[in-house]
Structure 1
Amino acid sequence: MFAVSAPGEWSTAARRAEELGYDVLLIPDHLGLPAPFPALVAAGAATSLRLGTFVLNAAFHNPVLLAREVATTDVLTAGRLELGVGTGYVAEEFTAAGIPFGTARDRVDTLERVIDAVYGVLGDPASAPQPVQRPVPLVIGCNGNRMLTLAARRANIAAFTGASSDPANPTNLRLLSGAAFAERIAFFEKVAGDRAGEVERNLLFQDVAVTDDQEAALAAWASRLPYLSAEEIPTVPALLVGSVEQIADQVRGLRERFGITYFTVLQPALEAFAPVIAALRRD
């Protein structure tokens, strides 16, 4: 997942991601960061990667205008776009944009309306421009029951956050233990029913620490995760800690245990995770 820098640096970074073996380049949607769609088009001109928003704050976008952005970007990238959407969770960004933050229920309601409207326009043969993909893959960021239900019913890709909001500060995230994450996967599979095997599953890794001293690296995380026990920290799915082969085994385990086949790392981990990609491609 990338943030945009200067034009030359951006194209270079996108090409570097492709060289390292990544398949998809994703752009977040936060105030203070560049607009996602122009950045994706620029990356698409420099690489053959698939491209996506990860994820758009639905409240920030007029759905009719968003549909135009999506269709145009899909055309300009030759059908490589993934549309990732979510509710937004940073109250200060809503305030800065002059948009009511509302309750979590309000924000999910908004997201559902935006999805319906955007795909209504994209599916209308009279609308222009027409996207290349039919449909443009829909990615929904999810963890809570209602978002998991929405992803189970509507998404092509369910993007599991591997974290929940901190009750004391909703802007902060609390990483889920392996047991808590397993419960979220089980809930998703239950509400998805027959679709459970059709929806691809994504997980965002919050940190990748390649080290020969796995024990010490995990111990360093203890002070940052006071809500988890020492026994739970090594089970956190959103953390990858250890040697290249240990991390590759963790990724394999997530695939086998939870059915996750699409993994996302943050830009600072771009180089560190590349040997893991190489190890996994040898399977």
Structure 2
Amino acid sequence: MTDPTTRPLRFGVVTPVLTDVNTWRDEVRRIADSGYSTVLMPDVPSWQPAPGPTLALAASIANVRVGTWVYASPFRQPWNLAWESHSLSVLTEGRFDMGIGTGRPGLIDELRTLGIPEAAATGRVAQVRDSVKTLRELDGTDLHTPVVMAVRGPKARALAAEVADVVTFAGSPDGSRADVAVLAEEFRGKDVELALHVSVVGDTVAAFMAPPDIDTAALRAADSLSYLPSDPAAAAEEILRRRAENGFSYVVIGLNSSRTLAPVVAQLAGS
């Protein structure tokens, strides 16, 4: 079992299609060439292309892992979500990570607009369990699609401890470092990689990862885990601190900070 405080560091970038497709293709290539391990797509219906075909395209452009950050399970039936995820694993030759969670802010309004029945919190956790179970059945013995779970409540955390390969903690970006550290401690002794959702680097807020009006100065003052300094040396020091203290070895940032932290990735990826 890997000691989380010595697990090799890796870095992912949430890379929505916010430009023309050719420019986005160039960004995918740059991300891969810069040493980032994973190109990630959010799951927000109607705001951008769907994650599945977009990630398949990304994997054909560059030799990089791809993944969802994260599927909102209430939008999909478990079998269809598992089938899509298994298919992406096959098409990318094992380079796909299925990120999945039970929802996000504003979820209920979106479901109503789309005419999708609402599920209670316990039902949403059950949807995730069913999706992962079906994925494992489809993968069989020859393929293992890594499951990344975004969790917060006790039922979701318990399920993640049972079925996830990677865990990140959902919640408000201004949540306290101490609260997240307590959640991370629950996974000590489990063979699970811990991931940090870093939505702000310096004064740059990542699209799809935090509200655009978030108070970046307040995050910095609160020593928030959702924040990293823009100075590469300071960011590298803080990333090493978070791994040593809490076991976070996978750092996920937004596309608009990927150039800023590229020197950090060059220095720390794989170490």
Q: TM-score, normalised by structure 1?
A: 0.78
Deviation at 1:281, TM superposition (A): 4.6
SS in 1 for 2:98: strand
In the alignment, which of 251, 254, 258 is matched to residue 266 of structure 1? 254
Counterpart position of 2:41: 27
Counterpart position of 1:178: 177
Counterpart position of 2:128: 111
Counterpart position of 1:128: none
Partners in 2 of 1:143 and 1:113 — Cα distance? 19
In the alignment, which of 152, 156, 159 is matched to residue 161 of structure 2? 152
2:220 paired with 1:205: no
Superimposed CA distance per residue, residues 94-114 of structure 1 (whole angstroms, 9 cap, x where no aligned partner): 122212333322322222222
> Quick check: 2:203–2:216 contact (8 Å CA) kept in 1?
no
Structure 1 residues 281 and 106, CA gap change in structure 2 (3 angstroms): closer
Instruction: Pick the structure with greater CA Rg.
Output: 1
Superimposed CA distance per residue, residues 47-101 of structure 1 (whole angstroms, 9 cap, x where no aligned partner): 0001111111112222332333223222221211111111112222212221233
Counterpart position of 2:57: 42
> Quick check: 1:240–1:247 contact (8 Å CA) kept in 2?
yes
Deviation at 1:19, TM superposition (A): 1.9
Deviation at 1:14, TM superposition (A): 0.4
2:25 paired with 1:17: no
Deviation at 1:185, TM superposition (A): 1.2
Counterpart position of 2:11: none
Q: Which amino acid aligns with 1:143?
A: R
> Quick check: 1:67–1:122 contact (8 Å CA) kept in 2?
no
Counterpart position of 2:217: 221
More helix per residue: 1
SS in 1 for 2:103: coil
Deviation at 1:261, TM superposition (A): 1.2
2:79 paired with 1:86: no
Q: Matched residue pairs, number? A: 244
Instruction: Identify which range, 268-277 or 180-189, moves more after superposition.
Output: 180-189
> Quick check: 1:201–1:259 contact (8 Å CA) kept in 2?
yes
Quick one: percent identity of the two aligned structures?
29
Q: Which runs of 5+ in 1 are unaligned?
A: 126-132, 165-172, 212-218
Q: Higher relative contact order by CA 8 Å / sep ≥ 6: 1 or 2? A: 2
> Quick check: 1:57–1:88 contact (8 Å CA) kept in 2?
yes
Q: Kindly report the root-mean-square deviation, in angstroms, between the aligned alpha carbons of the 2 structures.
A: 2.4
> Quick check: 1:29–1:55 contact (8 Å CA) kept in 2?
yes
Q: Which amino acid aligns with 1:47?
A: A
2:139 paired with 1:122: yes
Q: Which runs of 5+ in 2 are unaligned?
A: 1-13, 205-214
